[in-house]
Amino acid sequence: KNEVEQSPQNLTAQEGEFITINCSYSVGISALHWLQQHPGGGIVSLFMLSSGKKKHGRLIATINIQEKHSSLHITASHPRDSAVYICAVDDKIIFGKGTRLHILP
Amino acid sequence: DTGVSQNPRHKITKRGQNVTFRCDPISEHNRLYWYRQTLGQGPEFLTYFQNEAQLEKSRLLSDRFSAERPKGSFSTLEIQRTEQGDSAMYLCASSFGLTNTQYFGPGTRLTVL
Protein backbone atom coordinates (compact mmCIF):
# COMPACT_ATOMS: atom_id res chain seq x y z
CA LYS A 1 0.00 0.00 0.00
CA ASN A 2 1.36 3.42 -0.94
CA GLU A 3 2.03 5.77 1.92
CA VAL A 4 0.29 8.60 0.07
CA GLU A 5 -2.90 7.84 -1.83
CA GLN A 6 -4.75 10.28 -4.04
CA SER A 7 -8.23 10.04 -5.48
CA PRO A 8 -9.48 10.20 -8.05
CA GLN A 9 -6.64 9.35 -10.41
CA ASN A 10 -8.40 11.08 -13.28
CA LEU A 11 -11.16 13.67 -13.23
CA THR A 12 -12.98 15.32 -16.10
CA ALA A 13 -15.43 18.10 -15.33
CA GLN A 14 -17.27 20.94 -17.01
CA GLU A 15 -16.12 24.50 -16.69
CA GLY A 16 -17.58 26.09 -13.58
CA GLU A 17 -17.87 22.90 -11.55
CA PHE A 18 -16.60 22.61 -7.98
CA ILE A 19 -13.66 20.20 -7.89
CA THR A 20 -12.42 18.12 -4.96
CA ILE A 21 -9.23 16.08 -4.97
CA ASN A 22 -8.44 13.91 -1.97
CA CYS A 23 -5.19 12.79 -0.36
CA SER A 24 -4.78 10.23 2.41
CA TYR A 25 -1.50 9.35 4.04
CA SER A 26 -0.33 6.73 6.48
CA VAL A 27 2.86 8.24 7.89
CA GLY A 28 3.50 10.91 10.47
CA ILE A 29 4.10 14.25 8.87
CA SER A 30 5.10 17.78 9.73
CA ALA A 31 3.57 19.29 6.60
CA LEU A 32 1.60 18.40 3.52
CA HIS A 33 2.10 19.98 0.12
CA TRP A 34 -0.20 20.38 -2.85
CA LEU A 35 1.60 20.81 -6.14
CA GLN A 36 0.40 21.53 -9.66
CA GLN A 37 2.15 20.11 -12.69
CA HIS A 38 1.31 21.30 -16.17
CA PRO A 39 2.01 19.42 -19.40
CA GLY A 40 5.70 19.91 -20.14
CA GLY A 41 6.64 19.12 -16.57
CA GLY A 42 6.77 22.42 -14.68
CA ILE A 43 5.79 21.99 -11.03
CA VAL A 44 4.36 24.80 -8.94
CA SER A 45 3.83 24.62 -5.21
CA LEU A 46 0.23 25.59 -4.40
CA PHE A 47 0.01 25.08 -0.67
CA MET A 48 1.99 23.85 2.28
CA LEU A 49 -0.12 23.19 5.34
CA SER A 50 0.17 21.46 8.66
CA SER A 51 -3.27 22.21 10.09
CA GLY A 52 -6.62 23.72 9.24
CA LYS A 53 -7.31 25.40 5.95
CA LYS A 54 -5.64 27.71 3.46
CA LYS A 55 -7.17 29.66 0.59
CA HIS A 56 -5.58 31.25 -2.42
CA GLY A 57 -7.89 32.66 -5.04
CA ARG A 58 -10.18 29.86 -6.22
CA LEU A 59 -8.11 27.18 -4.51
CA ILE A 60 -8.76 25.90 -1.00
CA ALA A 61 -6.74 23.26 0.82
CA THR A 62 -7.77 21.58 4.06
CA ILE A 63 -6.08 19.05 6.27
CA ASN A 64 -7.31 16.84 9.10
CA ILE A 65 -4.28 15.62 11.01
CA GLN A 66 -6.24 13.13 13.14
CA GLU A 67 -7.76 11.48 10.07
CA LYS A 68 -4.55 11.84 8.01
CA HIS A 69 -6.49 13.32 5.15
CA SER A 70 -6.30 16.44 3.02
CA SER A 71 -8.46 17.85 0.28
CA LEU A 72 -7.81 20.35 -2.48
CA HIS A 73 -10.85 22.20 -3.76
CA ILE A 74 -11.16 24.34 -6.87
CA THR A 75 -14.16 26.63 -7.10
CA ALA A 76 -15.54 27.84 -10.46
CA SER A 77 -13.14 25.58 -12.35
CA HIS A 78 -11.68 26.81 -15.61
CA PRO A 79 -9.95 25.00 -18.49
CA ARG A 80 -6.64 26.58 -17.43
CA ASP A 81 -6.93 24.57 -14.19
CA SER A 82 -6.32 21.43 -16.27
CA ALA A 83 -3.15 19.87 -14.88
CA VAL A 84 -1.90 17.09 -12.65
CA TYR A 85 -2.35 17.83 -8.96
CA ILE A 86 0.10 16.09 -6.64
CA CYS A 87 -0.06 15.65 -2.90
CA ALA A 88 3.25 15.23 -1.08
CA VAL A 89 4.04 14.76 2.59
CA ASP A 90 7.03 15.84 4.64
CA ASP A 91 9.35 14.81 6.32
CA LYS A 92 10.23 11.89 4.10
CA ILE A 93 8.99 13.84 1.11
CA ILE A 94 6.68 11.15 -0.23
CA PHE A 95 4.56 11.99 -3.24
CA GLY A 96 1.21 10.71 -4.37
CA LYS A 97 0.85 9.62 -7.97
CA GLY A 98 -1.19 12.66 -8.84
CA THR A 99 -4.70 13.42 -10.03
CA ARG A 100 -5.04 14.32 -13.68
CA LEU A 101 -7.72 17.02 -13.96
CA HIS A 102 -9.26 18.01 -17.25
CA ILE A 103 -11.76 20.85 -17.35
CA LEU A 104 -13.92 21.03 -20.46
CA PRO A 105 -15.00 24.42 -21.77
CA ASP B 1 9.86 30.97 -13.99
CA THR B 2 10.34 29.99 -10.32
CA GLY B 3 13.94 31.18 -10.12
CA VAL B 4 15.36 27.65 -10.04
CA SER B 5 17.24 26.71 -13.20
CA GLN B 6 18.43 23.35 -14.45
CA ASN B 7 20.81 22.44 -17.22
CA PRO B 8 20.65 20.82 -19.62
CA ARG B 9 16.91 20.67 -20.22
CA HIS B 10 17.26 17.53 -22.31
CA LYS B 11 19.98 14.90 -22.47
CA ILE B 12 20.14 11.88 -24.73
CA THR B 13 22.90 9.43 -24.03
CA LYS B 14 23.91 5.90 -24.80
CA ARG B 15 23.78 3.18 -22.20
CA GLY B 16 26.98 3.03 -20.20
CA GLN B 17 27.85 6.70 -20.55
CA ASN B 18 28.15 9.10 -17.61
CA VAL B 19 25.93 12.17 -17.40
CA THR B 20 25.95 15.20 -15.13
CA PHE B 21 23.11 17.62 -14.47
CA ARG B 22 23.28 20.98 -12.80
CA CYS B 23 20.78 22.82 -10.63
CA ASP B 24 21.01 26.48 -9.65
CA PRO B 25 18.61 27.20 -6.79
CA ILE B 26 17.18 30.51 -5.65
CA SER B 27 20.22 32.20 -4.18
CA GLU B 28 19.11 32.58 -0.56
CA HIS B 29 17.67 29.07 -0.33
CA ASN B 30 19.64 26.75 1.93
CA ARG B 31 17.82 23.54 1.06
CA LEU B 32 18.14 21.83 -2.30
CA TYR B 33 16.31 18.67 -3.35
CA TRP B 34 16.68 16.23 -6.21
CA TYR B 35 13.74 14.17 -7.45
CA ARG B 36 13.14 11.73 -10.28
CA GLN B 37 9.87 11.41 -12.15
CA THR B 38 8.96 8.73 -14.67
CA LEU B 39 6.05 8.99 -17.06
CA GLY B 40 2.68 8.87 -15.37
CA GLN B 41 4.12 8.75 -11.88
CA GLY B 42 4.58 11.29 -9.15
CA PRO B 43 8.09 12.50 -8.34
CA GLU B 44 10.31 10.32 -6.18
CA PHE B 45 12.69 11.78 -3.66
CA LEU B 46 16.38 11.12 -4.35
CA THR B 47 18.37 13.30 -1.99
CA TYR B 48 18.53 16.65 -0.31
CA PHE B 49 21.11 19.15 0.93
CA GLN B 50 21.05 21.73 3.65
CA ASN B 51 23.75 24.15 2.61
CA GLU B 52 26.63 21.93 1.46
CA ALA B 53 25.71 18.95 3.63
CA GLN B 54 23.89 16.03 2.04
CA LEU B 55 21.44 15.13 4.80
CA GLU B 56 19.36 12.33 3.34
CA LYS B 57 19.58 9.90 0.48
CA SER B 58 16.84 7.65 -0.81
CA ARG B 59 17.49 3.98 -1.29
CA LEU B 60 16.65 4.74 -4.91
CA LEU B 61 19.99 6.48 -5.13
CA SER B 62 22.24 3.59 -6.11
CA ASP B 63 26.02 3.83 -5.99
CA ARG B 64 25.95 4.93 -9.64
CA PHE B 65 24.35 8.19 -8.53
CA SER B 66 26.24 10.93 -6.76
CA ALA B 67 25.19 14.43 -5.87
CA GLU B 68 27.23 17.35 -4.64
CA ARG B 69 26.65 20.88 -3.52
CA PRO B 70 30.22 21.99 -2.90
CA LYS B 71 29.69 25.61 -1.85
CA GLY B 72 26.11 25.41 -0.71
CA SER B 73 24.91 27.07 -3.89
CA PHE B 74 24.51 25.10 -7.13
CA SER B 75 24.33 21.33 -7.12
CA THR B 76 25.28 18.59 -9.56
CA LEU B 77 23.79 15.14 -9.97
CA GLU B 78 25.97 12.61 -11.75
CA ILE B 79 24.85 9.24 -13.03
CA GLN B 80 27.62 6.82 -13.94
CA ARG B 81 27.24 3.91 -16.35
CA THR B 82 23.72 4.94 -17.30
CA GLU B 83 21.06 2.28 -17.81
CA GLN B 84 17.84 2.48 -19.79
CA GLY B 85 15.93 2.46 -16.52
CA ASP B 86 17.53 5.79 -15.64
CA SER B 87 15.46 7.48 -18.33
CA ALA B 88 13.29 9.97 -16.48
CA MET B 89 12.77 13.62 -15.69
CA TYR B 90 15.19 14.77 -13.01
CA LEU B 91 13.77 17.63 -10.97
CA CYS B 92 15.50 20.00 -8.64
CA ALA B 93 13.78 22.15 -6.02
CA SER B 94 14.96 24.60 -3.42
CA SER B 95 13.52 26.06 -0.25
CA PHE B 96 14.50 28.29 2.61
CA GLY B 97 14.52 27.19 6.20
CA LEU B 98 11.59 25.79 8.05
CA THR B 99 8.85 27.05 5.75
CA ASN B 100 9.86 24.35 3.32
CA THR B 101 7.76 25.67 0.44
CA GLN B 102 9.69 24.22 -2.45
CA TYR B 103 10.30 25.96 -5.73
CA PHE B 104 10.86 23.58 -8.60
CA GLY B 105 13.11 23.90 -11.59
CA PRO B 106 11.94 22.93 -15.08
CA GLY B 107 13.70 19.57 -14.92
CA THR B 108 16.22 17.73 -17.05
CA ARG B 109 14.74 15.01 -19.22
CA LEU B 110 17.18 12.13 -19.59
CA THR B 111 16.80 9.55 -22.33
CA VAL B 112 19.15 6.58 -22.25
CA LEU B 113 19.27 4.67 -25.53
Share of chain B above pLDDT 70, in %: 98
- Which of A44-48, A96-100, B39-43, B106-110 is predicted most confidently? B106-110
Which A residues, 43 through 72, put their C-beta within 8 Å of a C-beta on chain B?
A: 43-45, 48
Instruction: Please say whether the beta carbons of B29 and B103 come within 8 A.
Output: yes
Using a CB–CB cutoff of 8 Å, tell me whether A42 touches chain B. Answer: yes
Residues of chain B contacting A43 with CB distance shorter than 8 Å:
43, 91, 93, 104
pLDDT band at A38 (very low <50, low <70, confident <90, very high): confident
Q: How far apart are CA B3 and CA B26, in angstroms?
A: 6
Task: Over range A31-43, report the average pLDDT.
Answer: 87
Q: Is B18 helix (H, G, I), strand (E, B) or coil?
A: coil
Q: What is the pLDDT of residue A91?
A: 61
| pLDDT at position A93 over 80 | no
Q: What is the pLDDT of residue A1?
A: 60
Q: What is the pLDDT of residue A79?
A: 95
- pLDDT tens per residue across span A40-61: 778 999 999 989 999 999 999 9
Q: Which of A22-26, A39-43, B39-43, B46-50 has the lowest mean pLDDT?
A: A39-43
Residues of chain A contacting B40 with CB distance shorter than 8 Å:
97
What are the phi and psi torsion angles at B86 (to 5°)?
Answer: -80, -10
Mean pLDDT of chain B: 92
Using a CB–CB cutoff of 8 Å, tell me whether B4 touches chain A. Answer: no
Q: Is A34 helix (H, G, I), strand (E, B) or coil?
A: strand
- How do strand B108-112 and strand B10-13 relate by DSSP bridges? parallel
| pLDDT at position B74 over 90 | yes
pLDDT band at A9 (very low <50, low <70, confident <90, very high): very high
Using a CB–CB cutoff of 8 Å, tell me whether A95 touches chain B. Answer: yes
E runs forming strands in chain A? 4-7, 10-14, 19-25, 32-37, 43-49, 52-56, 59-64, 69-74, 83-89, 94-95, 99-104
Task: Over range B72-79, report the average pLDDT.
Answer: 95
Task: Over range B76-84, report the average pLDDT.
Answer: 97
| pLDDT at position B14 over 70 | yes
Q: Which of A2-11, A37-46, B71-80 has the lowest mean pLDDT?
A: A37-46
Q: What is the pLDDT of residue B71?
A: 87
Mean pLDDT of chain A: 92
Q: What is the pLDDT of residue A92?
A: 58
| pLDDT at position B62 over 90 | no
Question: Pick from A41, A48, A86: which is nearest to B42 by CB?
Answer: A86
- Cβ–Cβ below 8 Å for A41 and B107: yes
